[in-house]
Structure 1
Amino acid sequence: MATREALWDYRDEFGDAFGRTYFRRFGPGVVSSIGLGTYLGDPTPAVDEAYREAIGLALRSGVNHVDTAVNYRCGRAERVVGEAVRDSPIDREAVVVATKGGFLPFDGDRPDDPGAFVRERFVEPGIVASADLANGAHAIDPDYLEWSLDRSLDRLGLGSVDCYYVHNPETQLATRSRAAVYDRLEAAFELLERRRAAGDVGAYGVATWDAFRVAEGDERYLSLAEVLSRAEAAGEAVGPDDDHGFEAIQLPFNVAMADAFTRRNQRPPETRRSSGGDAADDPEAEPVSALEFAHEAGLSVVTSASIGQGELAAQGAVPTDVDATLAGETPAQRALNFARSAPGVTSSLVGASDLDHLRENVAAGTFDPLGASAFDAVFE
């Protein structure tokens, strides 16, 4: 598990090589504002080795935030992350490792019949009930998440994870009501509170795609205030005090997907009240953006798709007027610096199994991000 002392020591070792605010508050200490994602790539030994080398280089270069999930690359990503962290000369306690549970993972490669695989591997052995599945491959009930967390800890081989996300909980809205999804999240958070008390998890949160950036009336929408209130209830239920471990959210954010900053779709928590599930809004309250809400609530924000899974690395992909405001020698660096310039963002993830791309991404951190006023001016 990452510790305050080791995280600050890492910052002291690498901080002078980077620009202003490169390291930012996260968990017990600080973390690099560029993080390494492990979502992309085929489930092959060659890609395993490429990621292993890239993660090792990243840790030795000033990136101490690695993000993965139980289902990434058919379950191979976690194993590679664990191997790279264990083999690194960088102290494990100086690295923030995050993973996720929600989607059912394959076992190393893509099965010919995914439906049959889910039935035989998960439903028939009782790991997950078919009634708990959404879209045939997603579950967040506590029994399944406990299995998934144990699977992650086994694959990572690190003893604990620093942040565990419930992965895309809005997927459950395809099969059940919003109130029921909030109830399931609260039950999931109670499980994670117990695992936090046991030392398996440092903190937890939710990693989303649509939930916090779509309009309030959208069928994929979740209220961040209500999700946070469910974590508070879980902390009170599990004890031993009223504290809770809900500390981070993850959502997509880039120059082409800036909804988390531009859309005011989240009601401040003091304007909401519990109503046995979904929360009621005060019609007189002004909604705020997801980023503003998270900042005011003291939550860390990690951005995914920070360069649009590579699409924003192409010359001309970032609008010319925006591109001109950003620091960086390449389009990828400027796109990445846009994401980590947004007020309230803690760390921006970018995937890289290519060492040259990794070096380019790390070098983005040597440039200063936009200040808050300059970032606001981009949208004027």
Structure 2
Amino acid sequence: MSTREALWDYRNAFGDAFGRTYFRRFGPGVAASVGIGTYLGEPTPAVDDASREAIELALRSGVNHVDTAINYRAGRAERVVGEAIRGSPIDREAVVVATKGGFLPFDGDRPDDPGAYVRERFLDPGIVDRAHLADGAHAISVDFLAWSLDRSLERLGLDAVDCYYVHNPETQLAVRSRDAVYDQLEAAFELLERRRVAGDVGSYGVATWDAFRVPTDDAAYLSLGEVLARAEAAGEAVGPDDTHGFEAIQLPFNVAMADAFTRANHPAPPGADADGPLSALEFAHESGLSVVTSASIGQGDLAVDGAIPADVDATLSGETPAQRALNFARSAPGVTSSLVGTIDLAHVRENVAAGTFDPLGANAFDAVFE
């Protein structure tokens, strides 16, 4: 698991090469505000090798935040992340490793009959109860998440992960009520509190696609205030004190998907200096939660000339569209780290170099939306 001392040592080793606020508070110390994701790519040995090289290069270059999930690349992504970390000259304690549980994972390749695979691997052995399954491939029941975390640690080959996300809980809203999903999350958080006490996870959070950025009347909406309240209740229930380990949220954010900043859809937390509801980013900031952005360059769509509106593009620093898009995401108030997935070494270097440019200040970022 990462430690404060090792994270700060990493920052001191690399910090002078980057612009202001490149390293930001995360977990017990600080981490790079550019992270490497592992979602994209076919489940093949060739992509395994390329991904491993990309992660190793990122770690050696000033990126010490690696994000994955049990289901990414048919279950291969976690194995590659673990191999890259173990093979890196960078101290494991200087790296923030995050993974996720929620989607039923394959085991190295895509089966010819996914339905039969789910039945034989998960339903018949009792790892997942059919009543807990949504869309045929998603569950956040306590038993399944416990299995998922154990499996993730095994695949990663690590003793602990720094942040464990409950993955896309809004998927469950297709088959059960919002209150029932909040109840599921509270039970999941109690599990993660116990695993935090046991030393298996440093912290936990929720990774979403729609839940925190859609309007309140959208079928996929979840309230950050209610989710945080359930984490607080879990912390009180598990102990050993009344604190909790809910520390981060992950959501998509980029110049074309900015509603986590522009849409005020979460009731302000107690004590907040606010006259009305807040955006997801504002709520997270007021509540002391780290925000990690996914789709930071639109899965490559914003890495081409003309993809960023010209008036916005003119305000951003960076030599390439990808760098400017990444720096837009890093500039949003409340954002801790922005993820970019790649297996191309040239793109790793390009993404790292984005951090040598300063992000927009708060006033300049606000002015983009005026």
- Quick one: distance in 2 between partners of 1:166 and 1:110? 23
Q: CA deviation at 1:285?
A: 5.7
Percent of residue pairs bearing the same amino acid type: 82
- In the alignment, is the contact (CA less than 8 A) between 1:271 and 1:285 conserved in 2? no
Residue 349 of structure 1 corresponds to 339
- In the alignment, is the contact (CA less than 8 A) between 1:78 and 1:155 conserved in 2? yes
- Quick one: distance in 1 between partners of 2:41 and 2:57? 18
- Quick one: distance in 2 between partners of 1:261 and 1:40? 25
Residue 183 of structure 2 corresponds to 183
Equivalent of residue 293 in structure 1, options 283, 288, 296? 283
- Quick one: distance in 2 between partners of 1:298 and 1:332? 29
AA matched with 1:323 = D
- Quick one: distance in 1 between partners of 2:103 and 2:244? 24
Q: CA deviation at 1:352?
A: 1.1
AA matched with 1:293 = F
Residue 147 of structure 1 aligns to a residue whose secondary structure is helix
AA matched with 1:294 = A
Deviation per residue, 1:222-260 (Å, 9 max, x gap): 000000000000000000110000000000000000000
- In the alignment, is the contact (CA less than 8 A) between 2:269 and 2:286 conserved in 1? no
The ranges of structure 1 where at least 4 consecutive aligned residues each deviate by more than 2 angstroms after the TM superposition are 269-272
Residue 234 of structure 1 corresponds to 234
Structure 1, gaps ≥5 residues long: 273-283
- Quick one: distance in 2 between partners of 1:115 and 1:175? 18
Equivalent of residue 302 in structure 1, options 292, 305, 321? 292
Residue 124 of structure 1 corresponds to 124
AA matched with 2:265 = N
Deviation per residue, 1:164-210 (Å, 9 max, x gap): 00000000000000000000000000000000000000000000000
What does residue range 170-319 of structure 1 map to in structure 2 within 5 Å? 170-270=170-270, 286-319=276-309
Matched, 1:44 2:38: no
What does residue range 32-111 of structure 1 map to in structure 2 within 5 Å? 32-111=32-111
- Quick one: distance in 1 between partners of 2:156 and 2:299? 24
Residue 266 of structure 1 aligns to a residue whose secondary structure is coil
Deviation per residue, 1:137-171 (Å, 9 max, x gap): 00001000000000000000111000000000000
User: Paired residues, what number?
Assistant: 369
- Quick one: distance in 2 between partners of 1:315 and 1:158? 40
Matched, 1:379 2:369: yes
- Quick one: distance in 1 between partners of 2:349 and 2:27? 26
Residue 346 of structure 2 aligns to a residue whose secondary structure is helix
Matched, 1:138 2:128: no
AA matched with 1:17 = A
AA matched with 1:30 = V
Residue 180 of structure 2 aligns to a residue whose secondary structure is helix
AA matched with 2:158 = L
- Quick one: distance in 1 between partners of 2:56 and 2:181? 38
Structure 2, gaps ≥5 residues long: none
Residue 166 of structure 2 corresponds to 166
- Quick one: distance in 2 between partners of 1:304 and 1:372? 21
What does residue range 317-328 of structure 1 map to in structure 2 within 5 Å? 317-328=307-318
Summarize the Cα distance change of 1:323–1:86 in structure 2 as closer, same or farther, 3 Å threshold: same
Residue 324 of structure 2 corresponds to 334
Residue 277 of structure 1 corresponds to none
Matched, 1:358 2:351: no
Residue 278 of structure 1 corresponds to none
TM-score calculated relative to the size of structure 2: 0.99
